A and B are shown apart, each in its own frame.
Chain A
Protein backbone atom coordinates (compact mmCIF):
# COMPACT_ATOMS: atom_id res chain seq x y z
CA UNK A 1 0.00 0.00 0.00
CA UNK A 2 1.01 3.58 -0.60
CA UNK A 3 2.96 5.38 2.12
CA UNK A 4 4.04 8.92 2.94
CA UNK A 5 7.31 9.18 4.84
CA UNK A 6 8.02 11.89 7.42
CA UNK A 7 10.88 12.25 9.90
CA UNK A 8 9.65 11.27 13.38
CA UNK A 9 10.98 14.39 15.00
CA UNK A 10 12.32 17.86 14.27
CA UNK A 11 13.86 20.18 16.85
CA UNK A 12 14.46 23.89 16.54
CA UNK A 13 15.18 26.86 18.78
CA UNK A 14 12.67 29.71 19.07
CA UNK A 15 12.96 32.18 16.22
CA UNK A 16 14.67 29.68 13.94
CA UNK A 17 13.20 28.00 10.87
CA UNK A 18 11.74 24.50 11.01
CA UNK A 19 11.35 22.38 7.92
CA UNK A 20 9.38 19.14 7.90
CA UNK A 21 9.49 16.93 4.83
CA UNK A 22 7.09 14.34 3.46
CA UNK A 23 8.01 11.92 0.69
CA UNK A 24 5.81 9.78 -1.54
CA UNK A 25 5.87 8.47 -5.08
CA UNK A 26 2.50 9.94 -6.02
CA UNK A 27 3.19 13.45 -4.76
CA UNK A 28 4.03 14.79 -8.25
CA UNK A 29 0.45 13.85 -9.22
CA UNK A 30 -1.49 14.52 -6.02
CA UNK A 31 -1.75 17.60 -3.82
CA UNK A 32 -0.53 17.42 -0.25
CA UNK A 33 -2.04 18.99 2.84
CA UNK A 34 -0.57 19.59 6.28
CA UNK A 35 -2.25 19.38 9.69
CA UNK A 36 -1.10 20.53 13.10
CA UNK A 37 -2.17 18.55 16.14
CA UNK A 38 -1.57 19.65 19.72
CA UNK A 39 -1.98 17.25 22.66
CA UNK A 40 -5.60 16.41 23.40
CA UNK A 41 -6.91 18.33 20.40
CA UNK A 42 -8.20 17.48 16.95
CA UNK A 43 -5.90 18.26 14.02
CA UNK A 44 -6.09 21.65 12.30
CA UNK A 45 -5.43 22.29 8.61
CA UNK A 46 -2.43 24.60 8.17
CA UNK A 47 -1.52 24.15 4.48
CA UNK A 48 -3.59 22.84 1.57
CA UNK A 49 -2.83 22.13 -2.08
CA UNK A 50 0.90 21.96 -1.35
CA UNK A 51 1.37 25.64 -0.57
CA UNK A 52 -1.89 27.45 0.15
CA UNK A 53 -2.58 28.78 3.64
CA UNK A 54 -6.11 28.80 5.09
CA UNK A 55 -7.41 32.01 6.55
CA UNK A 56 -6.41 32.40 10.18
CA UNK A 57 -3.15 30.48 9.83
CA UNK A 58 -0.09 32.67 10.56
CA UNK A 59 2.07 33.71 7.63
CA UNK A 60 5.08 31.97 9.16
CA UNK A 61 3.58 28.68 7.92
CA UNK A 62 4.38 27.89 4.30
CA UNK A 63 4.47 24.85 2.04
CA UNK A 64 6.37 23.81 -1.05
CA UNK A 65 6.69 20.89 -3.41
CA UNK A 66 9.55 19.42 -5.40
CA UNK A 67 9.16 16.12 -7.19
CA UNK A 68 8.31 13.35 -4.76
CA UNK A 69 8.83 15.52 -1.67
CA UNK A 70 6.66 18.21 -0.11
CA UNK A 71 7.78 20.40 2.75
CA UNK A 72 6.20 22.41 5.53
CA UNK A 73 8.30 25.37 6.65
CA UNK A 74 7.69 27.35 9.81
CA UNK A 75 9.68 30.57 9.89
CA UNK A 76 10.41 32.26 13.18
CA UNK A 77 9.21 29.30 15.21
CA UNK A 78 7.34 30.13 18.40
CA UNK A 79 6.81 27.98 21.47
CA UNK A 80 3.13 27.61 20.55
CA UNK A 81 4.14 25.83 17.33
CA UNK A 82 5.28 22.78 19.28
CA UNK A 83 2.98 20.03 18.04
CA UNK A 84 2.70 16.98 15.81
CA UNK A 85 2.51 17.70 12.10
CA UNK A 86 0.98 15.32 9.56
CA UNK A 87 1.11 15.41 5.80
CA UNK A 88 -1.85 13.96 3.88
CA UNK A 89 -2.37 13.12 0.26
CA UNK A 90 -3.86 10.41 -1.95
CA UNK A 91 -2.48 7.46 -3.86
CA UNK A 92 -1.93 7.71 -7.61
CA UNK A 93 -5.50 6.59 -8.35
CA UNK A 94 -6.92 9.30 -6.11
CA UNK A 95 -9.19 6.74 -4.47
CA UNK A 96 -7.38 6.28 -1.19
CA UNK A 97 -6.35 8.93 1.30
CA UNK A 98 -3.11 8.48 3.18
CA UNK A 99 -1.44 10.26 6.08
CA UNK A 100 2.23 10.43 6.83
CA UNK A 101 3.38 8.98 10.13
CA UNK A 102 3.64 12.41 11.71
CA UNK A 103 6.56 14.54 12.82
CA UNK A 104 6.87 15.88 16.35
CA UNK A 105 8.16 19.44 16.35
CA UNK A 106 10.01 20.31 19.53
CA UNK A 107 10.83 23.94 20.29
CA UNK A 108 13.98 23.89 22.41
Chain B
Protein backbone atom coordinates (compact mmCIF):
# COMPACT_ATOMS: atom_id res chain seq x y z
CA UNK B 1 0.00 0.00 0.00
CA UNK B 2 0.96 3.64 -0.29
CA UNK B 3 3.11 4.61 2.66
CA UNK B 4 5.94 6.75 3.94
CA UNK B 5 8.27 5.12 6.46
CA UNK B 6 10.56 7.34 8.49
CA UNK B 7 13.76 6.66 10.36
CA UNK B 8 13.84 6.13 14.10
CA UNK B 9 14.01 8.48 17.06
CA UNK B 10 17.10 10.62 17.58
CA UNK B 11 18.67 12.33 20.59
CA UNK B 12 21.06 15.16 19.81
CA UNK B 13 23.00 17.78 21.73
CA UNK B 14 22.47 21.50 21.15
CA UNK B 15 24.47 22.70 18.15
CA UNK B 16 24.49 19.32 16.46
CA UNK B 17 22.67 18.27 13.28
CA UNK B 18 20.09 15.58 12.65
CA UNK B 19 19.14 13.86 9.40
CA UNK B 20 15.74 12.20 9.10
CA UNK B 21 14.88 9.85 6.25
CA UNK B 22 11.52 9.19 4.62
CA UNK B 23 11.12 6.15 2.35
CA UNK B 24 8.19 6.08 -0.05
CA UNK B 25 6.55 2.93 -1.34
CA UNK B 26 3.41 1.90 -3.20
CA UNK B 27 3.45 4.77 -5.70
CA UNK B 28 5.68 6.51 -8.24
CA UNK B 29 8.19 8.31 -6.04
CA UNK B 30 8.99 11.08 -8.50
CA UNK B 31 5.37 12.05 -9.12
CA UNK B 32 4.57 13.61 -5.77
CA UNK B 33 6.26 16.35 -3.75
CA UNK B 34 7.27 15.61 -0.19
CA UNK B 35 6.77 18.17 2.55
CA UNK B 36 8.04 18.23 6.12
CA UNK B 37 5.88 19.22 9.08
CA UNK B 38 6.88 19.22 12.74
CA UNK B 39 4.97 19.22 16.00
CA UNK B 40 6.35 20.03 19.43
CA UNK B 41 4.76 18.33 22.42
CA UNK B 42 1.29 19.67 23.04
CA UNK B 43 1.62 22.16 20.19
CA UNK B 44 0.22 22.55 16.70
CA UNK B 45 1.53 21.57 13.29
CA UNK B 46 4.31 23.67 11.76
CA UNK B 47 5.20 23.48 8.05
CA UNK B 48 8.90 23.42 7.35
CA UNK B 49 9.39 22.99 3.61
CA UNK B 50 8.97 20.89 0.47
CA UNK B 51 10.94 19.01 -2.12
CA UNK B 52 10.16 17.80 -5.62
CA UNK B 53 11.81 14.35 -5.87
CA UNK B 54 11.84 14.50 -9.67
CA UNK B 55 13.52 17.86 -10.22
CA UNK B 56 15.22 18.26 -6.86
CA UNK B 57 13.68 21.72 -6.52
CA UNK B 58 12.92 22.63 -2.92
CA UNK B 59 11.73 25.45 -0.72
CA UNK B 60 11.34 26.12 2.97
CA UNK B 61 9.54 28.35 5.38
CA UNK B 62 11.44 31.56 6.03
CA UNK B 63 11.99 30.51 9.64
CA UNK B 64 14.06 27.49 8.53
CA UNK B 65 15.94 28.93 5.58
CA UNK B 66 19.66 28.35 6.01
CA UNK B 67 19.18 25.68 8.67
CA UNK B 68 17.22 22.98 6.84
CA UNK B 69 18.53 20.93 3.91
CA UNK B 70 16.39 18.55 1.91
CA UNK B 71 17.85 15.92 -0.44
CA UNK B 72 16.68 12.77 -2.16
CA UNK B 73 17.91 9.47 -3.51
CA UNK B 74 15.65 8.46 -6.37
CA UNK B 75 17.27 5.02 -6.66
CA UNK B 76 15.80 4.01 -3.32
CA UNK B 77 12.75 6.30 -3.21
CA UNK B 78 13.91 8.21 -0.17
CA UNK B 79 13.86 11.86 0.84
CA UNK B 80 16.06 13.25 3.61
CA UNK B 81 15.78 16.34 5.78
CA UNK B 82 18.71 17.62 7.76
CA UNK B 83 18.35 20.27 10.45
CA UNK B 84 21.52 21.95 11.65
CA UNK B 85 22.45 24.06 14.68
CA UNK B 86 19.86 22.28 16.79
CA UNK B 87 18.44 23.97 19.86
CA UNK B 88 16.06 22.79 22.54
CA UNK B 89 13.13 24.39 20.72
CA UNK B 90 13.68 21.94 17.85
CA UNK B 91 12.57 19.05 20.07
CA UNK B 92 9.53 17.75 18.23
CA UNK B 93 8.01 15.00 16.12
CA UNK B 94 8.97 15.47 12.48
CA UNK B 95 6.61 14.17 9.79
CA UNK B 96 7.22 13.71 6.09
CA UNK B 97 4.04 14.16 4.09
CA UNK B 98 3.04 13.46 0.52
CA UNK B 99 1.37 16.32 -1.33
CA UNK B 100 -1.18 15.03 -3.82
CA UNK B 101 -1.64 17.49 -6.71
CA UNK B 102 -5.05 15.99 -7.55
CA UNK B 103 -6.45 17.05 -4.19
CA UNK B 104 -3.97 19.84 -3.46
CA UNK B 105 -3.53 18.49 0.06
CA UNK B 106 -1.33 16.29 2.20
CA UNK B 107 -2.86 12.87 1.72
CA UNK B 108 -0.22 10.49 3.12
CA UNK B 109 1.73 11.07 6.35
CA UNK B 110 4.76 9.23 7.65
CA UNK B 111 4.62 7.80 11.16
CA UNK B 112 6.76 10.62 12.53
CA UNK B 113 10.29 10.78 13.93
CA UNK B 114 10.88 12.05 17.43
CA UNK B 115 13.91 14.31 17.66
CA UNK B 116 15.04 15.30 21.14
CA UNK B 117 17.60 18.05 21.63
CA UNK B 118 19.11 17.93 25.09
CA UNK B 119 22.46 18.53 26.72
A interface with B by C-beta (< 8 Å): 1, 31, 33, 35, 37, 42-45, 48-49, 52, 54, 86, 88, 95-102
Are the C-beta atoms of B110 and A99 separated by less than 8 Å? no
Helix, strand, loop or mixed for chain B's interface? strand
Residues of B bordering A, CB below 8 Å: 35, 37, 44-47, 50, 59, 61-62, 95, 103-107, 109-112
On whether the beta carbons of B61 and A88 are closer than 8 Å, the reply is no
Find out whether the CB atom of B105 lies under 8 angstroms from the CB atom of A48.
yes
Q: Check B109–A42 contact: CB distance below 8 A.
A: yes
Is B103's CB under 8 angstroms from A54's CB?
Answer: yes
Given the known inter-chain contacts A42-B95, A42-B111, please indicate yes or no for A33 contacting B45, CB distance below 8 A. Answer: no
Q: How far is the CA of A101 from the CA of B35 in the complex (A)?
A: 18
Bound Cα distance from A58 to B106, whole angstroms: 18
> Which has the most chain B C-beta neighbours within 10 Å: A37, A43, A44, A86?
A43
17 pairs of residues in contact across A and B, judged by CB atoms under 8 Å: A31-B104, A31-B105, A33-B105, A35-B45, A42-B112, A43-B95, A45-B103, A45-B107, A48-B107, A49-B105, A86-B45, A96-B62, A97-B35, A97-B50, A99-B45, A99-B47, A100-B44
